């Protein structure tokens, strides 16, 4: 097994681990953060698959924009929940 194959296997294992942890963590904020790191690992995977266009798009959209959308929605849900519990 040469070094590049070992790197690819390690990257695949990291992808599977972060994907699974993102869906199985009980705390939602941690799940979103794990999803952002999953997106960054996907960028590395695209670079290894000789797809630099997709790597550029995934870095900006998959990790950045989707992460911002998810965190903003989570914050809005929590604020409204606090307001309803307090009122």
Q: Residues interacting with other proteins, by CB under 8 A?
A: 4-5, 8-9, 12, 15-16, 19-20, 22-23, 28, 31-32, 35, 38-39, 42, 45-46, 48-54, 56-58, 60-62, 64-66, 68-70, 72-74, 76-77, 79-84
Task: Compute the least distance from the CB of residue 17 to other proteins, in Å.
Answer: 10
Name the DSSP class of 2. -
Task: Compute the least distance from the CB of residue 7 to other proteins, in Å.
Answer: 8
Scan for tokens 């979103």, then name that residue.
Answer: 32
Closest CA to 71 of 33, 37, 25: 33
């Amino acid at each position: 097994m040469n070094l590049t194959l070992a790197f690819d296997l390690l990257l695949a294992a990291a992808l599977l681990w972060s994907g699974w942890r993102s869906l199985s963590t009980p705390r939602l904020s941690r799940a979103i953060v794990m999803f952002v790191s999953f997106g960054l690992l996907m960028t590395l995977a695209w670079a290894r698959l000789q797809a630099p266009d997709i790597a550029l798009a995934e870095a900006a959209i998959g990790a950045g924009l989707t992460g911002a959308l998810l965190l903003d929605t989570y914050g809005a849900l929590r604020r409204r929940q606090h307001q309803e519990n307090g009122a």
